[in-house]
Structure 1
Amino acid sequence: MNVGPDVHRSLQPSLIEANQCAPENAEAEAQQRTGSLDIEKRWIRSRMDEVYLWRRDVPDVDAGAPEYSGPDVPRALNAYFNALRSQAFTASGKRRDAYSYMTTVRALVASTYGQEQPGFGIEWAMASSRPPRGIRVAYVQPGSEAARLGIQRGDALVSADGIPADASAEDDANALAASLFPRRIGTRHAWVLRSGTGPDRAVALASGFTRTPVPIRRVLPAADGRSVGYLLFVDHSVPAAAALSEAMKDFREKGVTDLVIDLRYNGGGLTVIASQLAYMVAGDARTAGKAFVRLQDNQPGSSESDPFERQRCIVGMEDCASDERLPTLQLERVFILTQQGTCSASEMLINGLRGIDVAVVQIGGVTCGKPYGFTPQVNCGHAYLPTRVAVSNELGFGGYGDGFTPGGSGGAGVPGCAVADDLEHPLGDVSEGQLAAALHYRAEGRCPLPVVSAATTDAAAPGAARGTKAAVLQPWRDPLRENAHLIPRR
């Protein structure tokens, strides 16, 4: 049942009950633990009414129900917050709000500022969520423990914590997910990996790593004598601002005239970083007076827009002592490598550039499809990120809820080529499938033949019979990495 206008009018402003925290809430500051779980839930309900994009879709939920109560405060709050999300579905059958989430302020700060996070710095690829799964390493963060142990792109998982990678029981599938996608720092795990035709080898490592937002940048000589820049960009965090600026300065000094941005493992983050990168690609003339993103909130008829960010320092998040301008390449075209993990702020980069007539050529797979923005709502040590705005570009286009499709049709179809992630070659290698396709398109103006269809995470392995009764392995990706976080304008 949806709420009506009378319910909206009966809610108090959230400010009245802010930071009156339950005594059992360990995330809250000690001096704030003078309230109750009920007060925290009332704050959530009022705040959802104030900022949630689909505020009139919020169900009528009994906040006192057992599933939203009890001594486990984070569990109760998370369950209540999730119950308030819109239950509607889109025309394509997707749940309208599969995105809003709750986390801790500690986790939000760690992700935003590039501090230590759970995991191993590994991106995994799966041919199928059911056996035979074909689980392989797609990316390893340089400098991580995994990299020091010699784990490489293309390595195949044989077992994790003693459980075969193709185990079919539900408990085993859950244990595999817990081993590969840990949610806490410090947990230790043991895997057996296989590299090519070599012998199986055992590795043991602990969860916890620091992400480098731009791990690879290089200049590639082209056959026509010009220089092509390649940039592997994996995280829209605060440290990315300096890393991207240095990369673009280097590309400019080396005479780069075409650019390939590899976003296949970039789930998003701060939208200001995407805006900075878009400006550095396009330059002053194309971005002057234009909106990088237009924002539509829950008030009909109201909208705002954010310009292309030209300053290197992030106002509101850093101590900006100077107004240093970002370097620019002033390109008319950019190649962007994508897969299903390309999400949110990364998609906003694609859409923002297309809105100012920069020719985007997309090489790879369909992106995740998340044309929304989020602003953290903080209370009692927890950060709530309800979907706050629908986003569009300078031309008013935001209809990419099913993702951008390389070589596709319609508004979300982007010129380019559908190409699978090539795990047989290192990232940045000119022989790697997606980069090779981008270079071919640059030289010939068309896709290479034959074009390899982009793989999805749930596609059956070639020649493999799917175990229809086997348990599904559900990968977990930190939602903090797969959203577009907006910085409030002051």
Structure 2
Amino acid sequence: MFKNNKTSLAIFTAFAGFALTGCGGGGSGIDSAPVVTTPVSSSPTWTAGVFEPSNDLKNFCETPRTGNDPFNNNEPYPDQAGSALYEKLWLRSWSDETYLWYDEIADNDPESFATVADYFAQLKTEQLTDSGAKKDNFHFSEPTEDYFQEAQSGVTSGYGINWAFIGDTADRILRVAYLEDDSPASQIGFQRGDTVLSVDGVSINTNTQSGVDTLNEGLFSPTNGDSHTIVVRSNDGAEKTFNVTAGNIEQTPVQNVKTITTVNGLSVGYMQFNSHISIAQEGLIDAVNKFKTDGIDELVIDFRYNGGGLLALSAQLAYMVAGNANVNNRFYYQTQQNDKQPVDSPFPFIDEEIDYSTFFSTGENLPDLNLSKVYVLSTSGTCSASEAFINGLKGIDAEVILIGDTTCGKPYGFTPTHNCATTYYTIQFSGVNSKGFGEYAAGFTPTPTPQFDADVQGCEIEDDFDHQLGDSDEAVLATALFHVENGNCPIRTAAAKAEPANFSSSRESLIPLNMPEQFTQRNMDLTWPTLSEER
């Protein structure tokens, strides 16, 4: 447990830098002053198997920024004149020092790669899992400005629409999964379940590259201020045309907080939790306080589109669900890093509010529900910190009932690291719960008859886009409510499965909708920096 005294504050500081990779949003920590060094040489060179310390290569940029950093108290940017080779060599050394599987990275000549981005893309393992899937699917980067904008304020660019691909990967059926509150899309009438027919006059089923480019721009990477025409078919069969303008969208990570009374009179708390980002803390606390006041009997947390984020927030939510009596001084998460990194102390369940601008406790105790059981709604987009929530509670023998689909499978973490205006994410640790379990790279699977460690008691049910989230008749929530009253799963007819857009394999179709890497990966997981991180 995390308590507000000098000893535990020091421990919390040591923990504060960890976050789960997979899908989601993050916060910032305290940035130390940049280490100013002199370039090792005016013309650095690559020698296979020889690695200079990454700190000696950091902040020497091909295009150094000038002026002051608005995300670091307007301190001057740390950038110094360097070159693309300096940036590549920093990435090489940093990866060798911190990557979980550093000994599986091929030490290729950085000069043979045209760009820094091309070089970074291959600084990871190419090995496969036993199932034949890539061992590392969570390797990406994004502009540092975008990282801090979202991490500190929950602001992203777009319309406020969260998409989902439906059916097989060769199908191009794109529907609205949910909307951000008060976003351009919600204000003009988009609704969950709307199916895209065309964008700017181009059919969703186009087979031309120019058409696909139009779809990608209009759907996944619109420029702020630009308007696009999107034609959809709504759930009632009506065709609707929307002209929507992209802008800066403030996320609403906690939505649809309500207490539902079942047929037999049980009170069930429900909340939709979309992302473990720092601004969610207040919404989660308000939700838990409402559920306490309402005296709920059971709790349903809708993680269907939650790609992860701050592990600290996940640990706070787990505490607010379970309470002190159920936590009973056991830990939430234990990191496992490569053999070049020190062994960290276990990450605790966190029972106090956090000032996410500093990662220190405010001293305010969190409310809790003292529940020994929780229902979690899931899809293949349930990832990272959301999976840690499931695993962490299972580690203290809390009963987790999983309703929906198998989760994404991301028992890994990283610290977003900034260099030369780019923020990089590379897998740096895995994690286990208080029982030592963390082998869920294939995801947690809901089943009435668990047989394996990654099986979770529950019901498999397809996402229902024909009803709004929070509607008691929506199939996944209805299944959870049925289980609450009957202790088992209803018999249902299987329907088409939904695959969240940010995990879509649609790029395997004839001419794919190639969502930008920044979009797909940043929405999979937002993490947080270490307190000692340099910018």
Q: TM-score, normalised by structure 1?
A: 0.89
Alpha-carbon separation, structure 2, partners of 1:443 and 1:275: 28
**Residues 371 and 132 of structure 1, relative CA distance in 2, 3 Å threshold:** closer
Q: Which residue of 2 aligns with 1:442?
A: 484
- 1:223-372 correspondence runs (5 A): 223-299=263-339, 302-314=343-355, 317=358, 320=361, 322-372=362-412
Q: 2:314, 2:385 within 8 Å by CA — same for their partners in 1? A: yes
| Aligned equivalent of 1:97, options 111, 119, 136 | 136
* CA deviations over 1:372-411 (Å, ceiling 9, x no partner): 0110122222211110101111111111111111105411
Shift of 1:62: 1.1
* CA deviations over 1:167-194 (Å, ceiling 9, x no partner): 2334433432332111653343211112
**Residues 26 and 92 of structure 1, relative CA distance in 2, 3 Å threshold:** farther
Q: How many residues align?
A: 468
Q: Which residue of 2 aligns with 1:118?
A: 157
Q: Greater RCO between the two (CA within 8 Å, min separation 6)?
A: 2
- 1:378-389 correspondence runs (5 A): 378-389=418-429
**Residues 469 and 406 of structure 1, relative CA distance in 2, 3 Å threshold:** closer
Shift of 1:335: 0.4
Shift of 1:52: 0.7
Shift of 1:305: 1.9
**Residues 292 and 451 of structure 1, relative CA distance in 2, 3 Å threshold:** farther
Q: Which residue of 2 aligns with 1:425?
A: 467
Alpha-carbon separation, structure 2, partners of 1:328 and 1:456: 33
Alpha-carbon separation, structure 1, partners of 2:202 and 2:222: 19
**Residues 411 and 23 of structure 1, relative CA distance in 2, 3 Å threshold:** same
* CA deviations over 1:144-184 (Å, ceiling 9, x no partner): 10000101112121101211112233443343233211165
Which of 368-377 and 111-120 deviates more?
A: 111-120
Shift of 1:114: 3.3
**Which amino acid is the alignment partner of residue 133 of structure 2?**
K
Shift of 1:105: 1.6
Which of 473-482 and 42-51 deviates more?
A: 473-482
Shift of 1:451: 5.2
Alpha-carbon separation, structure 2, partners of 1:271 and 1:487: 11
**Residues 26 and 123 of structure 1, relative CA distance in 2, 3 Å threshold:** farther
Q: 2:417, 2:529 within 8 Å by CA — same for their partners in 1? A: no
Which of 275-284 and 450-459 deviates more?
A: 450-459
Which of 160-169 and 17-26 deviates more?
A: 17-26
Aligned residues: percent identity? 34
**Which amino acid is the alignment partner of residue 186 of structure 2?**
A
Alpha-carbon separation, structure 2, partners of 1:480 and 1:134: 22
**Which amino acid is the alignment partner of residue 200 of structure 1?**
E
| Aligned equivalent of 2:110, options 52, 57, 63 | 63
Alpha-carbon separation, structure 2, partners of 1:294 and 1:414: 21
Alpha-carbon separation, structure 2, partners of 1:415 and 1:242: 30
Q: 1:271, 1:484 within 8 Å by CA — same for their partners in 2? A: no
Alpha-carbon separation, structure 2, partners of 1:183 and 1:162: 16
Could you say what secondary structure the match of 1:177 adopts?
Answer: helix
Q: 1:137, 1:155 within 8 Å by CA — same for their partners in 2? A: yes
Could you say what secondary structure the match of 2:148 adopts?
Answer: helix
* CA deviations over 1:214-270 (Å, ceiling 9, x no partner): 021001112333311001000111111111011101111111121000010111111
Shift of 1:280: 0.4
Could you say what secondary structure the match of 2:287 adopts?
Answer: helix
Which of 22-31 and 119-128 deviates more?
A: 22-31
Which of 108-117 and 365-374 deviates more?
A: 108-117
**Residues 26 and 169 of structure 1, relative CA distance in 2, 3 Å threshold:** farther
Shift of 1:142: 1.7
Alpha-carbon separation, structure 2, partners of 1:328 and 1:383: 35
| Alpha-carbon RMSD | 2.6
Could you say what secondary structure the match of 2:352 adopts?
Answer: coil
Q: Which residue of 1 aligns with 2:82?
A: 35
**Which amino acid is the alignment partner of residue 347 of structure 2?**
D
